[in-house]
Amino acid sequence: MISPAVRALQVFSQPSTRAKGEINAQTEIDSVQLTPRDNKIFEPAAHLERAAQEYLNLVPTHPTEQEEFLHGASEVQKVVAEVLYGGHWPESDELPELPSSKRPGAPKDNGGLTRSEQLVSDDLIQLYRKTVGSATPQQHKRLATAIHLCQSGLQGRILRRDYPNYWMSAPGSLERDSQRESTRWGRG
């Protein structure tokens, strides 16, 4: 069993072309160990995992809100896996431990996002910054579109809070969400 956050990457050397009748040498295997200190390549995956978990901890303010966010996150995951990880998503135990996010600012200074929503947004931005440099133009477009799907969920939450008489929300959800924010972050 491989210990957590350690992954063996095997690189198989190609057997050399041999003249007819020669015996092929045994294939060599090189192994590289990634430890928690040098698995930074998995940071974008860790940012998406943390953003999704934070979003799922929010009080849903609309019946389809979480499904829509998770659809966007699934699309982000596909693109990031393709761009950075050869089409495979890393296991949870391979992800680095990200530093704690700084305390978010007041919602009035952050486009109306609550502090918890800001954490989601910040992780999506970090994921984008750490992925976009390796993406082709087509992958970049797909990544941006997928992140915008996730951000649409955050925008919908702002609209339901700021215009509750116009944008439908689940009964009592705005009050529960406000109470959760106050409990987590305090009133100020």
| pLDDT of 9 | 23
| pLDDT of 107 | 80
Indicate the burial class of 144 (C-beta count within 10 angstroms; 0-12, 13-18, 19 or more).
middle
Q: Block means of pLDDT (10 residues each) for the chain, length 188 residues?
A: 26 35 40 56 95 95 93 96 94 90 83 93 96 96 97 94 91 93 84
Q: CA–CA separation, 18 vs 24, rounded Å?
A: 7
**Domain boundaries along the sequence of the chain:** 40-185
Instruction: Give 49-67 pLDDT, tens digit per residue.
Output: 999 999 999 999 999 999 9
| pLDDT of 35 | 53
Q: CA–CA separation, 170 vs 131, rounded Å?
A: 35
Residues in the chain: 188
Contact 63, 156 (CB under 8 A): no
Indicate the burial class of 108 (C-beta count within 10 angstroms; 0-12, 13-18, 19 or more).
exposed
